[in-house]
Amino acid sequence: MEGKTLNQETIAKHGPADEQITNIKSKRQYDIIVFGASGFTGQFVVMEMGRFSQIYNLTWAIAGRNTDKLQDVLNKLYKTVDGYEDKKIDIIYADVQDINTVMRMAQTTSVVINCTGPYYIYGEVVVKSCVLTSTHYVDVTGESLFMEKMAYIYNGQAEENNSIIVSALGMESVPADLGVEFLYKNFSGELKNVDMYMKLYSSSFVLTNSAMIHDGTWKSAILHMATYKQRKYYRNLLDELMGITRVKPNVSKILHRRQINMKADKEEWCLAFPEPDQAVIARSVHHAKTKDNLPYNFNVRNYMVFGGLISAIIGLFVFVLLSIMTSFNPIKTLLVRYPKWCSFGIATETGPNEKLLENSRMSLTLIGHGTTSEKPPTANLKDITHKDNTYKRQTIIKVKAKNPGYGFTSKAVILGAITIIKDQINIPKGYTIFLLVV
């Protein structure tokens, strides 16, 4: 089941804003509303919002359909974050099953931070409401189908209504996209290929019976695998509309060994992992080439680091097995409806505990390959590209994050929303890329 699609009667009733809002911040009651604030991710966003709002002097509120749970989240905020002894944050009722409540919420704020997933099911009504009310929108989704479908359907209307729509402002795909941009700017020579390796690990051994992920993450992953044909359909439409050319997979490197840690003299096994970063980067590269006239002529490929061969083979087996299982609708329904049992306790409604999250880490290694006319000090004959007498060059950068799935993600999406408020005049309207926002 997809999120509700607004019919023409609803659009005619509410319609786009009568005027183009060029300084939306001065016209709305709140700067930011966190929608889905009582959810697992939403609670992290609320805590960080409590801190950032005082730094940037922002007015904000939280929204959702269960006001009791929302009040519990605020009570925790008041106890945890300094500065709220004499402050009260407003609670707004909004339910994705009732478009009118979401529209009313969107009309009161400059930016909506949407934490209500899976976005494939619940996200469209929020995007549509923001577009119709000339409200800016950000989220933390990693669901490729949702991003590309929303971009294809709503980009034109968002541009007309002066609305900025930005997805994937989290662990996926801020480090990857900004990492590529940083690598390009600091590569001495012509960058031709970028290999990107993500490794998730724990900073110390944690003995716990906690779940590894929240069941919302599990549901998003299952729906992602189950919607391959729809993803391909909307991706092709979007690519044709924007003129995007995507890099083809390197079959020989689907499963391969690579030395990721340059300080350790060992190779680790890796698997191709293109979604969703590769799609986001493709749009950023396209924008840089067509809008900014930058000579972006390089390919980017993404991989997940597993370490040992057995771990990589198990990871590949599980992915293939789930992909086959989700192609059958009854099995897909069971996987989504009973995540705890189907995942053998890996995914639960309560999610990972605080100790597990505090020890979780993410390392993203970007290896840039290209050529340079400058002779490196240690160059030898094998480093010369005989075609034009240039030299091979390799540049490596690393991005690291603590509690990447929730702590880092919460900070990233809030800073994205703040940037929109502070610098919206210079950000292209429509379904834009976050490289222009964060």
Share of the chain above pLDDT 90, in %: 66
Domains for the chain: give ranges and CATH numbers: 8-170+408-436 (3.40.50.720), 174-404 (3.30.360)
**Would the pLDDT of 203 be above 60?**
yes
CA distances from 173 to 181, 206, 304 (A): 12, 27, 14
Q: Name the DSSP class of 25.
A: G
Is the model more confident about 4 or about 194? Answer: 194
**Would the pLDDT of 248 be above 80?**
no
Q: What is the mean pLDDT of residues 370-389?
A: 68
DSSP bridge partners of 60: 32
- Residue with structure tokens 């970028």? 194
Band of residue 434 on the pLDDT scale cut at 50, 70, 90: low
Share of the chain above pLDDT 70, in %: 88
pLDDT at 386: 53
Span 405-429, pLDDT tens digits: 999 999 999 999 999 999 888 888 8
Least confident of 65-79, 188-202, 283-297: 283-297
Q: What is the mean pLDDT of residues 308-312?
A: 93
Span 15-50, pLDDT tens digits: 433 333 344 445 799 999 999 999 999 999 999 999
Cβ 158 vs Cβ 178: under 8 Å: no
**Would the pLDDT of 382 be above 60?**
no
Band of residue 167 on the pLDDT scale cut at 50, 70, 90: very high
Q: What is the mean pLDDT of residues 285-303?
A: 85
Span 106-115, pLDDT tens digits: 999 999 999 9
Band of residue 279 on the pLDDT scale cut at 50, 70, 90: confident
- Residue with structure tokens 């089941």? 1
CB atoms within 10 A of CB 49: 29
Contacts of 223 (CB under 8 A, 6+ apart): 118, 120, 121, 143, 145, 332, 336
Span 368-377, pLDDT tens digits: 999 988 876 6
**Would the pLDDT of 129 be above 50?**
yes
Span 143-165, pLDDT tens digits: 999 999 999 999 999 999 999 99
Q: What is the mean pLDDT of residues 329-356?
A: 93
Band of residue 266 on the pLDDT scale cut at 50, 70, 90: confident
pLDDT at 311: 93
Alpha carbons within 13 angstroms on the beta-carbon side of residue 266 total 7
DSSP string spanning 238-262?
HHHHHT--PPPP-GGGSEEEE---T
pLDDT at 27: 74
Cα 237 to its chain centre, rounded Å, is 21
Q: What is the mean pLDDT of residues 300-314?
A: 93
CA distances from 391 to 155, 182, 380, 395 (A): 43, 22, 9, 13
pLDDT at 431: 80
pLDDT at 387: 64
Band of residue 326 on the pLDDT scale cut at 50, 70, 90: very high
DSSP bridge partners of 238: none
Average confidence score pLDDT of the chain: 87
pLDDT at 245: 77
Closest-CA residue to 436 (of 292, 275, 237, 247): 292
| Spatial distance between the Cα atoms of 15 and 383, rounded to a whole number of angstroms | 61
Cβ 180 vs Cβ 284: under 8 Å: yes
DSSP string spanning 402-431?
ESIIIIIHHHHHHHHHHHHHHHGGGSPSEE
Cα 160 to its chain centre, rounded Å, is 25
> CA triplet 411, 413, 415: central angle to 5 degrees?
65
